[in-house]
Structure 1
Amino acid sequence: MTDKPIEVLIVEDDPRIAEINRRFTEKEEGFSVVGIARTGEEAVTWLEVVEPRLVLLDIYLPDMRGTELVRRIRGEGKDTDIIMITAAGETEIVQEAIRGGVVDFIVKPIQMERFLKTLQNYRRRLERLKASGTMTQQEIDRLWNPGTADTASRWAGVREVPKGIDPLTLEKVVSVLRASPPPGMTAEETGQAIGASRSTARRYLEYLVSVGEAVADVSYGSVGRPERRYVLKSAGKGVPK
């Protein structure tokens, strides 16, 4: 446990959802909500005044997109982490958020179990950073995927992952799928989101299908060309800890 509560700023224009986020956050030990901002500009003011450690950020705000606020936070060099809460699964939004350093995604409708697990993982990440002087590769892997020594093996429920499947890349693919509601994402869209080729993304997606953790369906684009779309079997499902 950290020495003092992790201060959280909620940025959400819907009062009902903001209240749900506040209640969920305060259910988790070690977190304290210091404010709720309804707009991006209001969030900027809160960030200047209270300097929270964590921002729970909605993607659509009345005066700007959440990704614009992410850029402003990073541009000002603030020591603030961001978890994005969104109903959107567009590839470009997920990709932009990942590039901006968003540490996790929670997709609406919000599930309390997934919400609390996200906060728990984030808290453990801070604790490891505070405790570590120098870090081994295994410790960095665990920092990226909290509580996991062998991310892909434990997530997929197998003893060893196949050759060509990297645990960290697999987790990136899982995160992208988690942030994308049905009808899911194509291999090309997934590759763009994680910065990999279409063929690489397809290899990881098909691996998830083969171990029963994702499903693929065929849909037809605007020109009638069939394409496979992938989605996690259970919304909000992540790496077991």
Structure 2
Amino acid sequence: MINVLVVEDDPMVAQLHEHYLSQIKGFQLCDIANNGDAALKLLSKKIYDLLILDIFMPTMDGLQLLAKIRENAYDLDVIIVSAANDKDKIKQALRLGAVDYIIKPFEFERFNLALNNYLKRYHIVEEQSIIEQADLDQTIIRREEQLVVSLPKGLDKNTLATVWQCICGIEGMFTTEEVAGKVGISRVSIRKYLEFLKSLRLLKLDLHRGSVGRPVYKYLCLDKQSDVLRAYIQ
């Protein structure tokens, strides 16, 4: 299990990290720090494998924190998740040893790719005393086809394929109940699949006001021709 420390001053983004991490196998969120000083205190007391780090923070920004982490020789890897997209900050982060850089705003798919690629590299390096060139190439050479993706916990690729096939056969907006009835699984389970598809920007959710009764939430498929699911269901 990869022990993770999140350093993020925006509570909503920190909550998003927590939610996304709970969906990816092999990772455990241990602590959240809202500034660099709090992060250094945690690092002096506890051991983490991975730090998910923002750059724009008050007092001590993420790059200053990353420099201090390297000065103190803390043994952990760092993935930057930040709105900073200028080349100087990106170059500095990479030179300080960040293993990946995600630019906000980001979606689950990119976050999932980054963490699964990291997990694969972690196991290769930690579990093998002698490492072959081919193994290193699979994680160091960043090719899309080499990135490993996984579904959130509790989702099944065959069921996902069935749900997507069902959605592609529906014209216009639809409810959770409609898809649950067609697929033959519970509304609670279907909702998890629909929310995952929404995180990939394949669906959107709107409040639909009917002529009678309470308003209901309905989904709309945004791109039935997208191949983004291929990596998850192949």
Secondary structure of 2:3 counterpart: strand
Alpha-carbon distance in structure 1 between the residues aligned to 2:23 and 2:61? 28
Structure 2 segments unaligned to the other structure (5+ residues): 147-227
Alignment of 1:153-232 (within 5 A): none
Q: Deviations over 1:36-55 (max 9, x none)?
A: 10110001011112221100
Paired letter, 1:61 = M
Is structure 2 residue 8 aligned with structure 1 residue 12?
yes
Q: Deviations over 1:124-178 (max 9, x none)?
A: 11111123222233222223137xxxx48x58xxxxxxxxxxxxxxxxxxxxxxx
Alpha-carbon distance in structure 2 between the residues aligned to 1:87 and 1:28? 23
Tell me what 1:195 maps to. Answer: none
Tell me what 2:35 maps to. Answer: 39
Paired letter, 2:29 = V
Alpha-carbon distance in structure 1 between the residues aligned to 2:119 and 2:130? 19
Match 1:134 to one of 130, 136, 148: 130
Q: Is the 8 A contact 2:124 2:131 kept in 1?
A: no
Alpha-carbon distance in structure 1 between the residues aligned to 2:26 and 2:122? 12
Tell me what 2:94 maps to. Answer: 98
Tell me what 1:73 maps to. Answer: 69
Q: TM-score, normalising length from structure 1? A: 0.58
Alignment of 1:43-58 (within 5 A): 43-58=39-54
Secondary structure of 1:32 counterpart: strand
Structure 1 segments unaligned to the other structure (5+ residues): 156-236
Secondary structure of 1:21 counterpart: helix
User: How many residues of Structure 1 are paired with residues of Structure 2 in the alignment?
Assistant: 149
What's the CA shift for 1:110? 1.8
Alpha-carbon distance in structure 2 between the residues aligned to 1:39 and 1:119? 22
Tell me what 1:165 maps to. Answer: none
Is structure 2 residue 106 aligned with structure 1 residue 110?
yes
Is structure 2 residue 25 aligned with structure 1 residue 29?
yes
Alpha-carbon distance in structure 1 between the residues aligned to 2:112 and 2:43? 23
Paired letter, 1:106 = I
Paired letter, 2:31 = G
What's the CA shift for 1:85? 0.5
Identity %: 32
Is structure 2 residue 87 aligned with structure 1 residue 87?
no
What's the CA shift for 1:94? 0.6
Aligned Cα root-mean-square deviation (Å): 2.1
Q: Deviations over 1:199-239 (max 9, x none)?
A: xxxxxxxxxxxxxxxxxxxxxxxxxxxxxxxxxxxxxx9xx
Secondary structure of 2:124 counterpart: helix
Alpha-carbon distance in structure 1 between the residues aligned to 2:24 and 2:45? 24
Q: Structure 1 stretches (4+) deviating beyond 4 angstroms?
A: none
Alpha-carbon distance in structure 2 between the residues aligned to 1:27 and 1:68? 30
| Bigger Rg, which one | 2
